[in-house]
Amino acid sequence: MDYNRKTMKTDKSVYACQSCGFQSPKWLGRCPDCGTWNSLLEETFSPSIKAHPWEESPGRKSLPQPLKEISSQGEQRHLIGIDELDRVLGGGVVPGSAILVGGDPGIGKSTLVLQILDRLAGLGHKSLYISGEESVQQIKMRGERLGAGESQVLVVSETSLEAIFKILKEFQPRFVAVDSIQTVYSGEMSSAPGSVSQVREAAGRLMVWAKKSDTSLFLIGHVTKEGIIAGPRVLEHMVDTVLYFEGERGHAYRILRAVKNRFGSTNEIGVFEMKDSGLEEVRDPSQLFLSERPLNVPGSVVVPSLEGSRPILVELQALVSQTNFGVPRRTAMGVDHNRVSLLVAVLEKKAGLNLLNQDIFLNVAGGIRIDEPAVDLGITAALAGSFLDRPISAQTVLFGEVGLTGEIRAVSQSLLRVKEAQKLGFTRCLLPKNNLEQAGKTPAMELIGIGSLQDCLGILF
Ligand code: TYD
Ligand code: MG
């Protein structure tokens, strides 16, 4: 019985995983929920705080009603005027929605969000930028670089959740950005700022406010080394839209990807270039990704890949060279590593290329990542080209999924892919023969339907 009393006393503290929010009464070396090592921290257990009266906005009361009586055109969206972004959001910002913008430090999250608010303010919407990381002078300096020095955006440097709610209540903005959600803390909770419970509490209460007052909320979240949003992985479930801002260090372009979107497709990407005057949209990414392409060099091929609704031509580069000692290396950047291993095996078995004692490197030029099977044929062609030391003509593109028996399977949207290639001056396209019909016919583009990997290599080399 003594034991019971003891646990009741110590119950006040709880160990919370800083990555996913899992809670345990005792410390564990590894979170059983998300598998992260050494992520449990002691936090004081505090029951959720009730919303303050001043958090209660006058908003509507919701009553159940039959689906058929709900008008469907109700949802009105605000276009920001940055096409790349509006498309990723699924056609603008939905009032009352919460959007999480994640990304590595220094990738340009603050810049992007300030540019968004500046646009919205320019359209006459009251916008508020709350920074917990920079002073208002620093934000002003950034604004001046972005050409937003004269902007109407309201700016405040604040980290206390209670103070933020007072500001929200007083100024009633339509669009709010919190940079970053990890810096916001509630003085009524004893957990340290940045801990999972603080971040969850802050985001949760801000979102309730946003929903009730039809305010759109942008939450900026940092990402840890492992590529997850630190602490607030829990946030991904709560918010309506999760956008990741990606890019390689040293490259100027940045890719905005929707990984979750309640109001649109999640496959869409937006391409931006970081310039001295902020982020600029790239309307023709194919041109950008092919700008430094070497012509008629073994191991380089161009693939029309589809990102969401939009085709992008990317260059795949392969380097296959004899292993001098040890186990052959297999390195793939920008494409799935396992997929490459599989295609190497198919090339070995079905096309008779002896790749067993070869080091293999594969890269998607420009630092973009592609995750669709339609690039299979491109990968195999690049590998075979490098192995055989034969170039593929610079006017050729190819796409198709490669099956385990070496058959070439049809992929979606072949017409879009062919058109994009044509637009950039390509004159020959190898594609799955089952796609030939949909791909349309034009005199400017020679379309070659192929049924197997052997056919393809026979035509190319
Ligand atoms: P920032 O938006 O502060 O990144 P984050 O909020 O994701 O940490 O962007 C930081 C980088 O962007 C910094 O290295 C400088 C660069 N930058 C430009 O190149 N041009 C610009 O106009 C601005 C504002 C930033
Ligand atoms: Mg920042």
Over the stretch 24-57, which tens digit does the pLDDT of each residue have? 889 999 988 888 888 888 877 666 555 555 555 5
For residues 320 and 388, membership in a common domain is answered with yes
Pairing type for strands 310-322 and 300-307 reads antiparallel
Query: Does 270 map to a domain?
Result: yes
Query: Does 4 map to a domain?
Result: no
For residues 416 and 329, membership in a common domain is answered with yes
Q: Give residue 53's pLDDT.
A: 52
For residues 141 and 167, membership in a common domain is answered with yes
Q: Is 342 exposed, middle or buried (0-12, 13-18, 19+ CB in 10 A)?
A: middle
For residues 168 and 316, membership in a common domain is answered with no
d(CA 82, CA 103): 19
Q: What is the CATH number of the domain that holds 96?
A: 3.40.50.300
Over residues 165-193, mean pLDDT: 90
For residues 270 and 345, membership in a common domain is answered with no
Does the pLDDT at position 117 exceed 50? yes
The total number of structural domains that make up the chain: 3
What secondary structure does DSSP assign to 275-343, as a single string? ETTEEEE-S-HHHHHHTTPPSS-TTEEEEEEEETTEEEEEEEEEEEEE--SSSPPEEEESS-HHHHHHH
**pLDDT tens digit sequence for 34-43:** 888 888 888 7
**Residue among 253, 244, 237, 240 nearest 222 (CA):** 244
Using an 8 Å Cβ cutoff, are 266 and 99 in contact? no
Q: Which residues line ligand 1 (CB under 6 A)?
A: 103, 105-111, 142, 145-146, 274, 276-278
For residues 111 and 40, membership in a common domain is answered with no
Ligand in nearest proximity to the CA of 102: 1
Ligand in nearest proximity to the CA of 144: 1
- Looking at 283, 307, 337, which one is the last position of a domain? 283
Does the pLDDT at position 75 exceed 80? no
Pairing type for strands 269-275 and 330-333 reads unpaired
For residues 220 and 94, membership in a common domain is answered with yes
Using an 8 Å Cβ cutoff, are 334 and 370 in contact? yes
Q: Give residue 3's pLDDT.
A: 46
Q: Which residue has a Cα nearest atom 8 of ligand 1?
A: 106
**pLDDT tens digit sequence for 310-357:** 889 999 999 999 998 889 999 999 999 999 999 999 999 999 999 989
What distance in angstroms lies between residue 180's CA and the mean position of ligand 2's atoms?
7
Rounded to 5°, angle at Cα 139 from 136 and 140: 85
Q: Which residue has a Cα nearest atom 15 of ligand 1?
A: 106
Query: Does 186 map to a domain?
Result: yes
Give me the phi and psi of 301, to 5 degrees please. Answer: -135, 160
**Residue among 444, 435, 393 nearest 417 (CA):** 435
**Residue among 403, 376, 393, 397 nearest 448 (CA):** 397
What distance in angstroms lies between residue 156's CA and the mean position of ligand 2's atoms?
14
d(CA 316, CA 240): 34
Residue 75 structure tokens: 């949802």
Q: Give residue 390's pLDDT.
A: 95
Rounded to 5°, angle at Cα 379 from 377 and 385: 100
Over residues 210-233, mean pLDDT: 77
Beta bridge partner(s), residue 14:
43
Q: Give residue 224's pLDDT.
A: 67
Which residue bears the tokens 């630092």? 367
Residue 300 structure tokens: 């380089």
Mean pLDDT of the chain: 87
10-19, 274-283, 341-350, 380-389: the lowest-pLDDT one: 10-19
Q: What is the CATH number of the domain that holds 441?
A: 3.30.230.10
Helices 196-213 and 161-171 pack at an angle, to 10 degrees, of: 10
Query: Does 88 map to a domain?
Result: yes
Pocket perturbation via mutation, ligand 1, pick of 274, 275, 277 by most ligand atoms within 8 A of CB:
274
Query: Does 52 map to a domain?
Result: no
Amino acid in position 385: G
Which residues have a Cβ under 8 Å from the Cβ of 451 and sit 6 or more positions away?
A: 407, 408, 432, 433
Q: Give residue 46's pLDDT.
A: 61
Over residues 222-232, mean pLDDT: 62
Question: In which band, very low, low, confident or very high, does the pLDDT at 248 lie, cut at 50, 70 and 90?
Answer: confident
Question: In which band, very low, low, confident or very high, does the pLDDT at 6 lie, cut at 50, 70 and 90?
Answer: very low
For residues 439 and 308, membership in a common domain is answered with yes
Helices 109-122 and 136-145 pack at an angle, to 10 degrees, of: 80
Q: Which residue has a Cα nearest atom 18 of ligand 1?
A: 276
Query: Does 72 map to a domain?
Result: no
Give me the phi and psi of 275, to 5 degrees please. Answer: -115, 180
d(CA 347, CA 342): 9
Q: Give residue 264's pLDDT.
A: 83
What distance in angstroms lies between residue 93's CA and the mean position of ligand 1's atoms?
23
| Atom nearest to 145 CA in ligand 1 | 22
Q: What Å distances lie between residue 458 and 92, 203, 310, 450, 451, CA to CA?
A: 48, 58, 30, 10, 12
d(CA 26, CA 112): 41
For residues 308 and 213, membership in a common domain is answered with no
Q: Give residue 192's pLDDT.
A: 79
Run of H or E residues at 415: helix 414-423
Q: Domain of 23?
A: 12-45
Q: Give residue 64's pLDDT.
A: 87
For residues 305 and 418, membership in a common domain is answered with yes
- Looking at 216, 249, 283, which one is the last position of a domain? 283
For residues 131 and 233, membership in a common domain is answered with yes
